[in-house]
A and B are shown apart, each in its own frame.
Chain A
Amino acid sequence: MPKIDRKLISKKEEVANELKKIIKSENILYSEDETRAFETDGLTAYKQKPLIVVFPENTKEVSKILSYCNKNRIKVVPRGSGTGLSGGALPTEDCILLCLGKFNKIIDIDYKNRCVVAQPGVTNLSITHSVEEKGFYYAPDPSSQIACSIGGNVAENSGGVHSLKYGTTTNNLLGVQVVFMDGTISRLGGKTYDSEGYDLLGLITGSEGLLCVITEVTVKILKKPQTVKAALIGFSTIEDAGNCVSDIISNGIIPSGMEMMDKALIHATDNFVKAGYPRDAEAMLIIEVDGNEIEVKELMERINKIAKQNKLTSIKISKSEKQRLKFWAGRKAAFPACGDMAPDYYCMDGTIPRGKLAEVLKEIKRLSKKYNLSVANAFHAGDGNLHPLIMYDANEKDSLEKTEKFGSEILKYCVKVGGVLTGEHGVGVEKRELMCEMFNNNDIQQQIKIKKALDLNSLLNPGKVYPILRKCAEEGRVHVHKGNTKFPDIPRF
C-alpha cells in the first residue's frame, strides 16, 4: 500500500475536530472499537482499520470533506455497502473512510423517462422493488443485490446473471452526480439517452472509486417481459456443455441468462437449497429466455434441439414462476453453499472467450492438483465470466498465500487465452499486481495520467487498481527497505 503518513495519524484528534466543523459529530467515528467494523469489505482476507470513519448526509458535506482532505493531503477511501470482492473499499491506516450509508433514499421515480434517481447508498434490489408495482425492473442483478449499493455498482460496473442480454451497469446508467477530490460537484449525463462531449459517465463507471465520489445515480428501468422461462440442462462432460453454449449463440439466440456450474457446485448448491439439479451431471447449464409467449416457446424448442445435438443427459424446463426462481436459487446461493465444503473459500473472477472454456477448466483442474486445493466452478457462460471458488482453510499455515498464488495463476491463464483479469469484481487491491499481465507501460501510464487529471494528488482510494512499488517493465518486484525504494527519482506505478 502507499506510504503511511505517520504524522497525520498522530494528529487524529485534530483532524476529527476539523471534520466536526463540516459534519455532525455523531457522524464521525474514530475510536479503535468503532473503526474496527470498517476494517474490511467483501474480501475479508485483507484487513486494515481506517484513521477516521465519516458519514456525510448530503453532497455539500461530501464536497467540503473532500476539499478539506485535498488541501491537507489526507487520503480518502469511499465505501458503499462494503460487499466488494476485490478489496476496493479496503482502508489505509491514515485514511478517512467516506461511507455513503446515509445516502439511502430514492429521490425520484420517473416513469415518463423510464428512470429512477437514487442516492448511492440505496441497494440494487430496492430499485427494482420501488418500480415493480408498475411492472418495471432494474436489469443488472449482481448476486449480492440484496445488500450491495447502487453507488458501489457504478464504481465497480457490476454485472449479474442477466448481463448477456441486458448489459452491465454501464449500459443501464443514464447519469450521476459526483464530487471530485478538489470538492467540485458535477453532473454527468442526466435523463437523456446520450450525453455530448467526452463520455465522462462511461469513464467513471467501473473506476473503482479512484476518480470521484458518487452522490446520486440515475438508472434506466425496463418493462418486465411478458414471459420468462428457465431450463436446467445436464451434460456428462464440460466440453459438451461448453459446445452447447457456443452453438446456442452461433444459432442467433441470445438468452437473457446462461449459467454453467460444475459437478462440485451442482452438489454443493443442491444440498444447500434443494433446487432439483441433475446430481449425476458433470456440468449443468441454467438457460433463461424471455419475451412474449410464442417467442419463449420457440426459443426453448430451439435450445432443446441444440442441447440434444450436444448430448444432453437431462433437461427440465420451468413450469411455473416459483419453479423458475427455485432453479435460480441454487445458482444465487453458490457462494454460501461453498461454506459447507470448506471453512474458507476464495472467489476468483476472470473473463475468457466462451470457446476457451474447456481449455481453461482443464488448466484449473491441473492447478488444483498442483496446489492440492479443491475448486468449484460457477460460470456466467453466456458472457464468458468465470468464477472459480477455491476451497481452503485459513487456519492452516500459508494456506491463504497458496490460494492467492493458485488464483493468480488462473487469472494469468485467462489473459493468455485472450481474456481479462476481472469481469465484474474489479481489480481493487487483489489483482493490482497482475495488471502488468494485461497492460504494458504505455497503457498503464495513460490510465494513471487520467487519474492525475481528476485527482492531482492521488488521494482518492489510494493503492487500488494500479501496481505501486513495481515497474511493469521486466524488472519484477522492487525491494523496499523501511518504506524507501531504491532510486526514488524513477517514476513508479
Chain B
Amino acid sequence: MSIKETQNFPTFQDSDSLEYPQNEQEVENLIKKFYKSNIPIELIGSGSKRKIGKTLQCTKTLSLSKLNGIIEYLPEELYIKVKAGTSIKKIEDELKKKKQQLVFEPIDFGHFLNGQSDYGTAAGQVACNIAGPRRFKVGSVRDHILGFKGVNGRGEIIKSGGVVVKNVTGYDLSKLVCGSYGTLLALTEITFKVLPAPETSKTLIIHNQKVEKACYFLDSSINSSNDISGAVFFPNEPKVPGCSINIDDTFKLNDLKYEGSITAIRIEGSKNSIDQRIKSLINELKIIDLNLSILEIHQSEIFWNKVKSLDFFFKSKNNIIRIVIPPSECIHLIYLLANKFKYCLDWGGALMWLEAFELSEEMFEAIRRKVVKLGGYVTMIKNSRYLPYVDDVFTINIERFNISQNIKKSFDPKRILNPGKMYTGI
C-alpha cells in the first residue's frame, strides 16, 4: 500500500470511538465536549454514502442513527418534520399512505457502494444533496428543505427556516447545509417540503438511437410544453473492455420491444392527460416511424427505480464519476471523452455518469479540466483498486475555496466536524 493509501485507509474503530447520542441534547453535549478538547469527529447516519468524499481518520465517530422518528407530518400543510437519522425508506412509506412523496427522488447509493440497497437517512440525503431523475423539473434536495435544527462546531444548537414554503426571514441556511457533507453542523431535525404523488406514470422509450439524436429527443421533450419528468439515455456504445454497464442485462422488461440503446422519457399525471401528452410528444418529435415502446405504470416504476438506484453499476469494480454540465455541452463532452469510458445520461443530458476502467489520477484530472472548461463539475463517487484515492474528490476554484473556508470557520472554527471530508483545509 502506498503512503497515500495507508493514510486514507478506513481506520479501525473500537467501540470507544463510536458515540450514539440518543437525542439533540446529547449531540449538543458531545460536540461541546469535543470542541473544548479539540477532538475531530466524523458524522455518520446509516453510512450508505460514507464512501463519497475523502476517507476520514477522526478520533471519534458520531452516529446520528438513534435520532430516529417522524416528529410531525401534516399532509395538508405539505411538510414532514423528522429527526435527522430517520431512514428515507420510513419517510417515504409514511408519505405513501397519504399519496404524497419527496419529489426530488432520493437516490439509492447503497447497492453499488456497499452491495445492499440503502436510501440512507434524511440527514444523509441533505448532506449530499444529490437528486434523482426529476431534478430538471422540480429541483434538488436543497429546493425541498423548509428548515432544520442542528448543532454547529461550537456545540451550539441552531435553527433556520420553518415549516412554511415562503420564508425570507434571515439567511437561508437550509441551502447552505444541503451538500455540505456534514462539515458545517450535525443535523438533528429536518423539515422537508412534500408534494402529492402523481396519479400514474408512463415512459416512452425510443430504441436504438445514437447519442446525437437521443440528446436531441431529450432536449426537445424538455423544451416542449408536455411537462415531462424524466429524460435519460443509456447507450450501448462504446464497448469498453473492463467496464460492466450492460443495458440489456439491467433493463429486462417485458414491455421493451427492441434491443439497442434506450432513450427514455417519463410522463406523470392523470391517466388521460398522460396519453394525450405521449401522443403529442410522438407528433412533435416526429418519431412515429421509429422503434418505440411505452412502459405502463408498473414497468415504468421499475425502470425509474433502476435509474434511481444506479442499477447499471451493480457489478462494476471500476471508478464511478458523476459529471454535471450545462445541457448544451453534453455532446461536446462525449466527443472529448473519445470512446474511452462507458457512460449514461440523466437530466436530459445535464448529468453524466461515467464508468472508468484502469483510471489514473492524471486521466481523472484531465476529465475534470475538460468539464470545468465547459462550465460543469466532476465528483469521484466511487474509488476502485486501480485508483483507490484521489486528491480532489470534489471540484472547486480558489475564490470559492476561500469563501467556503470562511463559511466553515463561522460554523466550525476548530474544524472538528468531518474535517477534510470535502476539501483539504475545510
Contact = CB atoms under 8 A, between A and B. Distances in A.
Interface in B105-127: none
Given A194-B129, A355-B76, A384-B166, A110 B400 contact: no
Contacts of A192: 324-326, 350, 375-377
A447 B407 CA distance: 10
Contact of A163 (B165, B197, B277, B403): B165
Nearest to A384: B164
Contact of A198 (B395, B399, B407): B407
B266 to A, nearest CB: 16
Given A191-B326, A199-B129, A439-B159, A450 B377 contact: no
Contact of B410 (A250, A254, A291, A452): A452
Interface in A160-176: 163-164, 167-168, 170-171
Interface stretch (B36-44, B138-146, B298-306): B138-146
Given A384-B164, A423-B168, A453-B409, A246 B225 contact: no
A449 B361 CA distance: 37
A192 B159 CA distance: 29
B136 A224 contact: no
A2 interface: no
Contact of B269 (A113, A195, A207, A291): A291
Contacts of B276: 292-294
Interface in B251-285: 269-270, 272-273, 276-277, 280
A385 interface: yes
A156 interface: yes
A70 interface: no
Contacts of B375: 190-192
A157 B169 CA distance: 10
Contacts of A157: 168, 172
B324 to A, nearest CB: 5
Given A354-B77, A423-B164, A427-B169, A167 B196 contact: no
B11 interface: no
B403 A385 contact: no
B377 A420 contact: no
Contacts of A449: 410-411
A418 interface: yes
Given A199-B175, A292-B273, A446-B411, A193 B350 contact: yes
Contacts of B195: 254
A225 interface: yes
Interface in B167-208: 167-176, 178-180, 184, 195-197, 199
Contacts of A163: 165-166
A303 to B, nearest CB: 13
* Residues of A in contact with B, size category: 35 or more
Task: Find the residue from A135, A170, A225, A355 having the highest chain B CB count within 10 A.
Answer: A170
A199 B219 CA distance: 26
B327 interface: yes
Nearest to A207: B171
Contacts of A196: 179, 324, 377, 379, 394-396
B25 interface: no
Contacts of A167: 139, 143
Contacts of A184: 399, 402
A250 B78 CA distance: 9
Contact of A353 (B77, B179, B350, B400): B77
Given A192-B377, A442-B157, A422 B169 contact: yes
Contacts of A211: 171
A195 B77 CA distance: 30
B77 A253 contact: no
A205 interface: yes
A333 to B, nearest CB: 21
A164 B164 CA distance: 11
A462 interface: no
Interface in A394-452: 418-427, 431, 435, 438-439, 442-447, 449-450, 452
A485 to B, nearest CB: 23
Contacts of A247: 76
A271 B184 CA distance: 53
Nearest to A380: B166
B224 A352 contact: no
A446 B152 CA distance: 9
Contact of A384 (B160, B165, B223): B165
Contacts of A225: 225, 227
B347 to A, nearest CB: 6
Nearest to B160: A443
A193 B326 CA distance: 7
B291 interface: no
Contact of B170 (A159, A168, A427): A427
B294 to A, nearest CB: 17
B222 interface: yes
B345 interface: no
B240 interface: no
B404 interface: yes
B140 A442 contact: no
B18 interface: no
B179 A422 contact: no
Interface in A369-395: 380, 383-385
A439 to B, nearest CB: 7
Contacts of B423: 197
Task: Find the residue from B131, B157, B171, B224 having the highest chain A CB count within 10 A.
Answer: B171
A119 interface: no
Contact of B167 (A180, A253, A351, A380): A351
B173 A298 contact: no
B171 to A, nearest CB: 5
Contacts of B47: none
B404 A199 contact: no
Given A110-B328, A447-B170, A199 B176 contact: yes
A223 B180 contact: no
A419 B225 contact: no
Contacts of A294: 270, 272-273, 276
B290 interface: no
Contacts of A246: 76
B246 to A, nearest CB: 28
Given A112-B328, A184-B399, A453-B406, A202 B377 contact: no
Given A171-B143, A196-B394, A294-B272, A111 B223 contact: yes
16 contacts: A112-B328, A167-B143, A192-B377, A194-B324, A196-B324, A198-B184, A200-B176, A208-B168, A223-B223, A352-B164, A353-B74, A383-B166, A420-B164, A426-B168, A439-B170, A447-B160
Given A113-B328, A203-B173, 20 more contacts: A110-B328, A159-B166, A167-B139, A186-B399, A190-B326, A197-B404, A198-B403, A198-B408, A205-B175, A207-B172, A223-B223, A254-B195, A294-B270, A294-B276, A351-B162, A354-B77, A384-B164, A384-B166, A423-B166, A453-B410
Enumerate the 6 nearest inter-chain pairs by beta-carbon distance, A residue then B residue, closest first: A202-B175, A252-B196, A423-B166, A295-B273, A112-B328, A191-B326
Interface of B: 74-78, 99-100, 129, 131, 135-136, 139-140, 142-143, 152, 156-160, 162-176, 178-180, 184, 195-197, 199, 219, 222-227, 269-270, 272-273, 276-277, 280, 324-328, 347, 350-351, 375-377, 379, 394-396, 399-400, 402-404, 406-411, 422-423
